[in-house]
Chains A and B, each alone.
Chain A
Amino acid sequence: MFEIPHDAAAGTPLDRERAGASLRVVSVQGDDAIARRLVDLGFRPNTEVRVERLAPLGDPIQFRLHGYRLALRRSEARRVLVTAR
């Protein structure tokens, strides 16, 4: 058994999505404090996430989930795998 990164079932990293994309969380990668904090911030499986906008310099990215606005850097957003809604 092996995992193919970024296939449709595993989802794509959240930092690759365009502004305006409506997505659904598949999983959060890793088991460190950052990963747990991402889950605490609301990135649970099946959560709806929208990419609101990129900062003028391209990073960080503003998301919308659970009705609130959250800014993440690409380096952290990468941990969240999503699929199109």
Chain B
Amino acid sequence: MSVSRRLATVALVGRQNAGKTSLLMHLTGSTQHPVNFPGSSVERSEAVAKLADGHLRIVDLPGITSLEALSPDEEVALAWLHGGTSGAGAKEAGDGPDAICAVVDAGKLGVELDLVVQLARLGKPIVVALTKVDVARVTIDVPALAHELGVTVVPVNALSGEGAKALLERLVAVVATPEGSRSALEDASQRSVPVDLDLLVRSVTTRSDGDRPSLTDRIDAVLLHRVFGLPILALLVFGIFQALFVGAEPLMGLIEDGQGALGSWIAGLVPEGALQSFLVDGLVNGVGSVLVFLPQIILLMLFVALLEASGYMARAAFLLDRVLSKVGLSGRSFVPMVSSFACAVPAVLATRMIDNERERLATIAVLPLMSCSARLPVYVILIGAFFPTSQAGLVLFSLYALGIVVAAIVAWILRRTRLRGSHAVLMMELPVYQRPSVRVVKNQVWAASREFLVTAGTVIMATAILIWVLSYYPRPAAIHEAHNALRAPISAAIEKLGPDAPERAALEARAGELDTRERAAYLEQSFLAEAGKAIQPVFAPAGFDWRTTVGVLAAFPARELVIPTLGILYSVGDVDPGEFDIASLDAAEAHREEGLAGRLRAAKKDDGSPAWTSLSALSVMVFFALCSQCMATLGAIKRETRSWRWPLFVFSYMTGLAWVMAVLVYQIGSALGLGGAS
């Protein structure tokens, strides 16, 4: 055995809700980071505690109920716990923990000690951290418990951190002298004498407040009420949804303003040309299109973390489990589903609380079908342009309903085919309500945001740059010369006029229009447009004209890109996609958009027929409702499923389904004689 400078390692083991995460933070400060188990991609979080005379590595295992693994992830974690001598961890034998810190909820000793007994069989020194002593409804004789178990028991308050220091000292002590820390439990279990836990628990606890309903009971009487439970949940979800839009809106505006300002600043420094366009349209817009998701992600993860830490999340799952069980999911899928109406990216991250892997994958696979906030601007513009106000609400509602219904069907199919088996089981503790720890919530929000920026960010950036290249080149010089020839007389005329001449404004507008036309001409000749025209036959049955097809292609990195692209193609100048959020539903904003809407209505195909009808608008919207046009989401799915298989599957089935449904809508509608120019 080499005397390497390997850090002594302690594993934090306990059930879900035992308070491990906050305990880890109090033991080590907040510098924990996710690390993969050796030889696998299963994640654990670990941190190093700094001591007066050295360091102690503390590893937080995922919550486990027993030493029998029900999922592959649990298997990997447990193999490591066994000392890396079996299973997936065998590659680095000896990388197991030197000691185990069993985190035990004082309120339910009767169940928790069962795990401690099982852990004792591993033959490693154990220290028991007794959490939630203050909220437990029993008084525990700690010295008696320690005596009965034959191990050190340290009461800690996972919220305030009280007792964490004493716990750390005990852990250091057992790591230093493992032989002296053999537990009576271990001896008992090795003699295979069953430990009578019920007797043991009874001998060390006294009920402190009898059968008086606790605070949690009283809150549950309202929140889980047979009649009011569901309406309260609906109200809460609606409130969160509203807060997401209202709260994220100004921040998203700031980011877009900043992006615009930075773009103009660079445009002022760098001479016009490929470099400027790359920096402004490719790089700055690429970064901007990543950052603009951040406010929603931060807010949503904040709400999710608060709901989870307070104990309400399990209640929401309890209330809605019945509905979701019909399609092979469980109540735990509910929060990610709802979150996905705002943005699928944080929703994918929020599926981590689903412990059944197949159910989690099925949830991830259908999340992007929920109409997210980036689809709304597309709906708003097209509904405004092609449907009377009296039908607008119905069309919008139908598009949202379409996503939900398709998601239910896809989940149902997946759970009967590829993700068959291990039927979703709900065996879920409803934890005692508690005030969320600021540090835990802050940590969760920060971790999710950072992961999004790093992983999804690189994917979006790369795609944004690719799309920029395709839409910028080849840039034939003839277009520039032709437009210069047209511009010359106008510039000359402007120069002849005085600064206050009334004709000046009209001429400058004409010059601006020429610039836009030039951009449209470049785009028409670009590789992207070539590709659009080449695959136009594919989308013709759905009623798209080639410009719409180009818009659809350009929208694959991020669906909201379709608006500026259509804006350029139909030559009304650069339209800022950020303008069309929920706030733009009001009349003043809608009036401003008449530019693009009017152009779409007026646009003609090559044969002179209208390029857009209400039927083709509906077909385009159905396509957008179902299509996977968000690299950020696919990046998040890649991150969460640890393979390219799932993002590829999600992309393929959604895009295929979107095409089929759009074609069906257009063909059936045409056959019924619907969709004349409106």
Within 8 A of A (CB), among B420-475: 425-431
Chain A residues with CB under 8 A of B427: 37-38, 41, 70-72, 76
A60 part of interface (Cβ distance < 8 Å): yes
The size class of the interface chain B forms with chain A is: 35 or more
Task: State the CA gap A71–B425 with chains docked (Å).
Answer: 10
**Among B115, B198, B430, contact of A62 (Cβ-Cβ < 8 Å):** B430
Does B430 lie within 8 Å of A71, measured CB to CB? Answer: yes
Q: B322 near A57 (CB under 8 angstroms)?
A: yes
A56/B227 contact (C-beta < 8 A), A68-B111, A72-B427 known: yes
Cβ of A29 within 8 Å of any chain B Cβ, yes or no, is: no
Residue from the set A34, A54, A71 with the largest chain B CB neighbour count within 10 Å:
A71
* A53 interface residue per 8 A CB criterion: yes
Q: Are B229 and A69 in contact (CB under 8 A)?
A: no
Q: How many angstroms between the C-alpha atoms of A38 and B198 in the bound complex?
A: 16
Question: Which B residues, 34 to 67, have Cβ-Cβ distances below 8 Å to chain A?
Answer: 65-66
CB distance B111 to A58 under 8 Å?
no
Contact call A37/B430, Cβ cutoff below 8 A? no
What range describes how many residues of A lie at the interface?
A: 20 to 34
Q: State A71–B317 Cα separation when bound (angstroms).
A: 10
Is there an interface contact between B318 and A62, defined as CB atoms closer than 8 Å?
yes
Measured between beta carbons, the chain B residues less than 8 angstroms from A38 are: 427
Q: Is the CB of B110 within 8 A of A67?
A: yes
Alpha-carbon distance A59/B427, docked complex (angstroms): 12
Q: Report which of A37, A47, A67 forms a contact with B65, defined as CB distance below 8 A.
A: A37
A11 at the interface (CB under 8 A from B): no
Q: Is the CB of B224 within 8 A of A73?
A: no
Per-residue contact bits, chain B 107-132, to A (CB 8 Å; 1 contact, 0 not): 11111001100000000000000000
Q: Are B318 and A71 in contact (CB under 8 A)?
A: yes
Give Cα A68 to B112, complex, Å.
11
| B110 CB contacts on chain A under 8 angstroms | 42, 47, 65-67
- Cβ of A57: which chain B residues have Cβ within 8 Å of it? 319, 322-323
The answer for the CA separation of A53 and B319 in the assembled complex, in Å, is 11
In the complex, B73 has a CB within 8 A of chain A: no
Considering only residues 33-62 of chain A, those with a C-beta below 8 Å from chain B are: 33-34, 36-38, 40-42, 44, 46-47, 53-60, 62
How many whole Å from B177's CB to the nearest CB in chain A? 32
CA distance A67 to B220 in the complex (A): 15
Residues of B within 8 Å of A36, CB to CB, are 66, 68
B530 within 8 A of A: no
The digit string for B469-497, where 1 denotes a CB below 8 A from any CB of A, is: 00000000000000000000000000000
Q: Closest approach, in angstroms, between the C-beta of A48 and any C-beta of chain B?
A: 10
Write 28 A-B pairs (CB below 8 A) sorted by A numbering.
A33-B68, A33-B70, A36-B66, A37-B66, A40-B65, A40-B66, A40-B115, A42-B111, A46-B198, A53-B224, A55-B321, A56-B226, A56-B227, A60-B321, A65-B110, A65-B111, A66-B108, A67-B109, A67-B137, A67-B138, A69-B220, A69-B430, A70-B429, A71-B321, A71-B427, A71-B428, A72-B427, A73-B425
The 7 closest A-B pairs by CB, nearest first: A66-B110, A57-B322, A68-B108, A69-B430, A42-B111, A40-B66, A71-B428
- Seen from chain A, the residues whose Cβ lies within 8 Å of a Cβ on chain B are 33-34, 36-38, 40-42, 44, 46-47, 53-60, 62, 65-73, 76
